[in-house]
Amino acid sequence: MDIKAYMQQIGQQARTASRAMARADTNAKNQALNAMADAIDRDAAKLLAANEQDLANARAAGLDSAMLDRLSLNPKTVAAMAEGLRQIATLADPVGEITDMKFRPTGIQVGKMRVPLGVIGIIYEARPNVTADAAGLCLKSGNAAILRGGKEAILSNQAIAACVREGLSSAGLPEAAVQVIETTDRAAVGELITMQQYVDVIVPRGGKGLIERISAEARVPVIKHLDGVCHVYIDDEADPEKAIRVADNAKTQRYAPCNTMETLLVNENVAELILPPLAQIYRDKGVELRGCEATRAIISDALVATEEDWYAEYNAPILAIKVVSDLDQAIDHINTYGSQHTDAIITENYTKARRFLREVDSSSVIVNASTRFADGFEYGLGAEIGISTDKIHARGPVGLDGLTSQKWVVLGDGHVRV
């Protein structure tokens, strides 16, 4: 197979389809989403059989149980895929929205129209549900999508892709609006991320290794999500009850997500009040604590935190704790060791809350609430394609709007420039 020629063809088809998708009306897009969902429900047995074959191949190849777990579909996850598509159909269509139309002194009227980005390449690992999810988000935002899933999920992805194509076609939309790359050759990824003429943006979804590799080689812009080293800072003017509740939730509600707290910062004036009851909660839940010297003076069973701990994204029941002297030291710590993902302050002090919001350079800054809120559903985006730790284009949870851009609209009546 000539991978370059194959990918060029995929790219050309996507570009052509993207023009039709940009013009597609809301009703056709919603109809396609609902038809995809219906096809997935109807073909559930087929999808599960394809997935069973992927799993058998993966077991034969010796994949570990975490990988197999991510790869595996069941009747409930298949139904959830369909339901996700129906939910995307209920979201407002971002495309074509015109805002800020203002008259200028020259008499022209100028504003902005929200438009699709064009062609979006999604690269992900062995989670077949991403196929349906990404297809739905790209479709609703008026884009064409090229999907490249992990090779372990190829049969599952192809079965899902058939449902997606059926949905597109039944609504009169081009089937090439969502293309799943049919080869597992890695060279296809190399082509995808460098076809600037056909691909407008790449969204990698997966582990940090995948994202770093893609970012290093891409010529197409990448919306990337690297580390989530999130902090909660408990100020000396925090309400202790809120502080303990939020610090507990931010760490223990779930350990794996990127918006889970990894380092707790506590003001030295309240460390002796806050840390003992909080440590007890963590101990009861089996969280390993690693602290600075001042922390260990209060929590005697905490392990020694090293410099690496302040940079660590554990994604596990481990927490680093540091006692700081004031807000400035907390902000310095976050801006030095953090990953500009999500950071929270717990305080009743207005000025310190305001400074934290302004001075912490992270994609989400939070006062008196858990870092776990930082996602597209909680923020009201309806769905998210990922969380961006980049600074340009989109920061934080990226929903339908993040898959669009704005062009300028000018209305005149024969106006010329003088």
* Interactions with a second copy, residue window 208-227 (CB under 8 A): 216, 219, 221, 223
- Sign (positive or negative) of CA dihedral 178, 183, 189, 193: negative
Residue among 300 and 336 whose Cβ is closer to a second copy: 336
Q: Which two tokens stand for residue 237?
A: 């003017």
Secondary structure (DSSP) of 103-122: E-TTS-EEEEEEEE-SEEEE
User: Rounded to an integer, what distance in angstroms lies between the CA atom of residue 278 and that of residue 298?
Assistant: 11
Residue among 43 and 390 whose Cβ is closer to a second copy: 390
Site string for a second copy, 27-66 (x = CB under 8 A): ----------------------------------------
Q: State which of positions 108-127 bind a second copy (CB under 8 A).
A: 108, 110, 113, 115, 117-118
User: Rounded to an integer, what distance in angstroms lies between the CA atom of residue 322 and that of residue 87?
Assistant: 42
User: What minimum distance in Å lies between the beta carbon of 231 and a second copy?
Assistant: 14
Residue among 133 and 200 whose Cβ is closer to a second copy: 200
Q: State which of positions 162-201 bind a second copy (CB under 8 A).
A: 200-201
Residue among 185 and 326 whose Cβ is closer to a second copy: 326
Q: State which of positions 249-268 bind a second copy (CB under 8 A).
A: 249-250, 253
Per CB under 8 A, the list member of 74, 90, 106, 325 interacting with a second copy is: 106
Show the DSSP H helices in 285-326 as ranges.
293-298, 307-311
For a second copy, which stretch binds (CB under 8 A), given 40-48, 76-84, 158-166, 359-367? 359-367
Q: In what order do the strands lie in the sheet with 119-124?
A: 178-180, 144-148, 119-124, 201-205
User: Rounded to an integer, what distance in angstroms lies between the CA atom of residue 228 and that of residue 338?
Assistant: 8
User: What minimum distance in Å lies between the beta carbon of 199 and a second copy?
Assistant: 11
Phi, psi of 394 (to 5 degrees): -145, 135
Secondary structure (DSSP) of 155-184: HHHHHHHHHHHHHHHHTT--GGGEEE----
Question: Interface with a second copy includes 379 (CB under 8 A)?
Answer: yes
User: What minimum distance in Å lies between the beta carbon of 73 and a second copy?
Assistant: 26
Per CB under 8 A, the list member of 33, 85, 226, 366 interacting with a second copy is: 366
